[in-house]
Structure 1
Amino acid sequence: MSLSKHTSISKQQGNVYIIAIFVIVVLGMLTLNLTRIAWSNQDTLTREVLGTQASLLAQSGNEWALTHLFPLNEADDFASLKGRCGSLGTSAVDAANALVANSDIPCSSPIISCEVSPENIPDDLKHLKVTTRAKCNESNVFEVEREETVWVRGVKGE
């Protein structure tokens, strides 16, 4: 008994449709996963760049604050530093605005603050805490915030 060619070809056509649908589904899922990976990499890179910008801006704010606290040819004992710490407010706002205005980064002005240690601490351990908080965002989609802190002590007179 022999089968005709027509019968064997019609039986194989159903298999081709199943294989074609399987290949299309597998390629579609592969494309979807590759797109998701590419988007994830772009998201990570954007956050990393914004984080670096915010960190460097916060560091710049602290460096400015240290320059304000330790001016050239001025006393650098704790009492003098404490007085300069109290006057940091308005000039810190101007400096923070200048830091952002002179750069091309998508960040808001950093917040620079100075705190004096509690009064119940012994004199040789008194310190100032200078903190700068910077926030950067890209098109209001990603927002990254970094905070840098510097501890400052006065120099003892000789």
Structure 2
Amino acid sequence: MYRNNQASMNSQKGNVYIIAVFIIVVLGMLTLNLTRISWSNQDTLTREVLGKQASMLAQSANEWALTYLFPLDEDDDFTTLSSRCSTLGASAIDAATALVENSAIPCRAPIISCETSPSNIPSEMDDIPEELKHISISSRAICNSGNTFEVERQQTVWVRGVKDE
């Protein structure tokens, strides 16, 4: 008594094709999902790098503006600072363009603005109440990677405690 192995092998040929197609479909879907995850990670990394570049550019623009407002060995009363603040825009364009041109980052020149306080802030220093003013410096930087992503970062610096002389 023996079985006919030839008949049993012929009846199982269809099963091998079904299993092969199933494995190919499963591997194809797995490959597609891994590719999507890889692209997603690359997009996230690109946005993160552009965001960091924009943030650092805005910070550099604010630091330049503070250097412009408070030059060494010059008066820092509110009237002088207020006049420097009003002329900051014209000087900032050249400085901002130089910041971008001297670096290899894909960003536009940051926009720097300066505003003085409309009113005094009450303060008590050394037990002598006095009125102090403040100045707000704001920088906005936009970086992009071709036409794919555009990232914008804005930073604001407040200069408080400026005496009105």
Fold equivalence (TM over 0.5): yes
Residue aligning to 1:99: 99
Q: How does 1:85-96 map to 2 (within 5 A)?
A: 85-96=85-96
| Residue of structure 1 equivalent to 2:33 | 33
Match of 1:140 among 138, 141, 147: 147
The separation in 2 between residues aligned to 1:74 and 1:153, in whole angstroms, is: 18
Q: Match of 1:55, SS?
A: helix
Counterpart mapping for 1:31-110 below 5 A: 31-110=31-110
Does the 8 A contact of 2:132 with 2:161 survive in 1? Answer: no
Matched residues, number = 158
Counterpart residue identity of residue 112, structure 2: I
**Comparing both structures, which one devotes a greater share of its residues to strand?**
2
TM-score when normalising by structure 1? 0.92
- Counterpart for residue 157 of structure 2: 150
In structure 2, C-alpha distance between the alignment counterparts of 1:86 and 1:30, rounded to whole Å: 60
**Structure 1: unaligned runs, 5 residues or longer:** none
- Residues 108-143 of structure 1 show CA distances to partners (whole Å, capped at 9, x for unaligned) of 000000011223755734211100000000112111
Alpha-carbon RMSD across the aligned residues, in angstroms, is 2.0
Rounded to whole Å, the distance in 2 between the matches of 1:152 and 1:36 is 47
Deviates more, 1:73-82 or 1:26-35: 73-82
Rounded Cα–Cα distance in structure 1 between residues aligned with 2:143 and 2:136: 23
Residue in 1 aligned with 2:17?
17
Code of the residue aligned with 1:115 in structure 2: it is E
In the TM superposition, residue 86 of structure 1 has moved relative to its aligned partner by 0.7
Structure 1 Cα separation of the partners of residues 132 and 43 of structure 2: 44
Deviations 1:32-54 (A, max 9, x none): 01111111111111111111111
Whether the 8 Å CA contact 1:69–1:84 is kept in 2: the answer is yes
Distance 1:134 1:47, change over 3 A: same
Secondary structure of the 1:103 match is: coil
- Which aligned runs of 4 or more in structure 1 are off by greater than 6 angstroms? none
Equivalent residue number for residue 134 of structure 2:
127
Task: State the percentage of identical aligned residues.
Answer: 69
Letter in 1 for 2:93: V
